[in-house]
Amino acid sequence: MTILDGKKTSLDIQKELEVKVKELTKSGANPPHLAAVLVGDNGASRTYVNAKVKACQRVGFKSSLYQLNINTTQKELLSLVHKLNNDDSVDGFIVQLPLPKHIDKNQITLAINPAKDVDGFHPENVGKMSLGLPSFLPATPNGIMEIIRRYNIETEGKNVVVIGRSNIVGTPVSILMSRKSNPGNATVTLAHSRTKNLKDICLNADILIVAIGIPEFISSDMVKSNAVVIDVGIHRIEDSSKKSGFKLLGDVKFDEVSKKCSFITPVPGGVGPMTIASLLMNTYLASYGNK
């Protein structure tokens, strides 16, 4: 069994970007500029945004953080989005999810300029992805594809089962896995909590991607021997024995499934860091294209 080390792979990508940025800025070009908008004080969101800011500093990007009060209105947030759309010094920006319940996330997503949508959520980018056209790919699905590529995991002709149909992970990664590309060219089944005979479907998977949002949902009896398992879930569970007061679990029972599979992502240290790497790759693309 091989651990798919997302933390190491993410740092490798960041080092590659750092070299590229240094080469381009030597000639007087501006470093890529990523802005992040955080509404409220969700602990997990703050941790994630802070990690993005640190990653920007590591690779030589400029970063800006807009921290808004949880009572910020939708109109006020839209005003900031329009401001960032029209700020030529900002190459790309994200509005961190989840948003407070009184704000319609779809309206915010639609308001973002697709050319600065480095999260890859705007319908224009999603549509281009579906057609196989150049676009900003959603950060988490693209991070999954990148770690599969860098570990030379064969996907062509393989049975891939994706559990979870969200617009952020499940649906886009199912599209990417089925595209005529490498990684890709897989036969994909998109399953979810309403799927019948889910265990039997999972047992047919050469590659199992789990993004169902339920702690330790996948057990070893749902995974066939030597399967590749990608665990997208991350959950904070109270644990008084930990200094932090909580432990982190994925959607997969790692201890038992890891004994049965060929490759597996850990939680933490698997898909999460790859999401950040993918965001940086998109920001670089927004700034410099394919240079």
Answer yes or no: is pLDDT of 291 > 70: no
What domains can you pick out in the chain, each with its CATH number? 31-113 (3.40.50.10860), 139-272 (3.40.50.720)
Q: What pLDDT, on the 0 to 100 scale, is given for residue 256?
A: 97
Rounded to whole angstroms, the Cα distance separating 16 from 106 reads 34
Which three-class secondary structure state does DSSP give residue 261?
Answer: coil
Which three-class secondary structure state does DSSP give residue 87?
Answer: coil
Q: What pLDDT, on the 0 to 100 scale, is given for residue 60?
A: 96
Q: What pLDDT, on the 0 to 100 scale, is given for residue 42?
A: 81
DSSP letter string, 215-249: TT-B-GGGS-TT-EEEE---EEEE-TTSTTSEEEE
Mean pLDDT to the nearest integer, 51-55: 92
Strand partners, 235: 249
Which three-class secondary structure state does DSSP give residue 141?
Answer: helix
Ranking 11-15, 44-48, 219-223 by mean pLDDT, the lowest is 44-48
pLDDT in tens, 8-35: 999 999 999 999 999 999 989 999 999 9
Rounded to whole angstroms, the Cα distance separating 74 from 99 reads 10
Answer yes or no: is pLDDT of 181 > 90: yes
Mean pLDDT to the nearest integer, 203-221: 97
pLDDT in tens, 54-111: 999 999 999 999 999 999 999 999 999 999 999 999 999 999 999 999 999 999 999 9
Rounded to whole angstroms, the Cα distance separating 148 from 138 reads 16
Residues identified as active-site? 52, 96, 119
